[in-house]
Homo-oligomer: A and B are copies of this chain.
Amino acid sequence: MRDDLLHLAQHLTQQGYLLTLESLTAQYAHISEFATQEIAQLVQQVDVIIVMGGDGTMLSVARSLGDSQVPLIGINRGRFGFLTDLRAENMLSEIDAMLQGHYQAESRMLLSAELQRGSETFVMGQALNDVVMKSSVRLIELEVSINQQFVSRQRSDGLIITTPTGTTAYALSAGGPILHANLQAIALVPICPHTLSYRPIAVSSDSQISVRLLHCQQAQLSMDGQAKMELQAGDLLRVARSRHAVNLLHPQDYSYFERLRNKLHWS
């Protein structure tokens, strides 16, 4: 990793680009040859962020963007990446082409969530993949409303509220459909529902989703796989499309469906 980072950084510098490393990355990789900056400042000041790692790293950077609209380029390391779509082997030539303007830009929606407990409201931040309520013990009971309309009362292991981006991640394992990344939709995917006819449902991305927790034990709220809060009966979770989005840059020959075929071993 360190070698690839150095290699890329030197290459970009030679090309005349002004390069800043995220400070924790520089520290972790023992690289001191380049300017560094903390992520919160970085996202406000650069023209593009190049992320090297897996989808988890992309998710983590996406959560750090705040109101910055700086676009992200992902270079894949390790396991197959859905968001990190440049392969390390030929990253230099691909990056060069992209920085010269040969790319596909794509905007991915984020979810924002807040939790109301009694008179308190907790702002839970944003998710590029999903917002999940899940119990480690058997059943939770919850009540879902969309745009103030009652949808259903469910007994299940939990509920996944997912962006199109998230439908190829955890929600897929729970039996959810694939929503194309550019579909303006949010999907609700129940986890092991008690009633077999509770099926995944996709609604318009401008929907206001509320979930009231009626009964739970040791249930967690997590976002993009990060535990956020222990849930309590009575909690009210509100999820909606964030006014921010994540801007991804893909290589010119990027194909969503090709990614899908590779990830799901359709051959």
Chain A positions within 8 Å of B, measured between CB atoms, are 134-138, 146, 149-154, 156-157, 170, 172-180, 182-185, 187, 191-204, 218-220, 222, 225, 227, 255-258, 260-261, 264-266
Contacts and interface: CB of A to CB of B under 8 A. Distances in A.
Contact of A174 (B151, B180, B192): B192
Given A170-B192, A184-B184, A185-B185, A197 B227 contact: no
Q: How often does this chain occur in the complex, in copies?
A: 4
Contacts of A194: 173
B180 A203 contact: yes
Given A134-B136, A201-B178, A203-B180, A192 B191 contact: yes
Contact of A193 (B173, B179, B185, B265): B173
B173 A202 contact: no
Q: Report which residue of A151, A176, A184, A257 has the largest number of chain B beta carbons within 10 angstroms of its beta carbon.
A: A257
A136 B138 contact: no
Given A170-B192, A177-B187, A187-B177, A136 B220 contact: yes
Contacts of A222: 137-138
Given A136-B220, A152-B261, A196-B264, 7 more contacts: A138-B170, A138-B225, A152-B257, A177-B200, A196-B197, A196-B199, A198-B264
Contacts of A173: 156-157, 192-194, 196
A202 B151 CA distance: 21
B178 A202 contact: yes
A149 B257 contact: yes
Contacts of A176: 177
A24 B155 CA distance: 30
Contact of A199 (B138, B172, B187, B258): B172
Contacts of A191: 157, 192
B203 A264 contact: no
A156 B174 CA distance: 10
Contacts of A218: 136
A208 to B, nearest CB: 13
B177 A266 contact: no
A136 B138 CA distance: 10
A202 B220 contact: no
B220 A204 contact: no
Contacts of A204: 180, 182-184
A177 B199 contact: yes
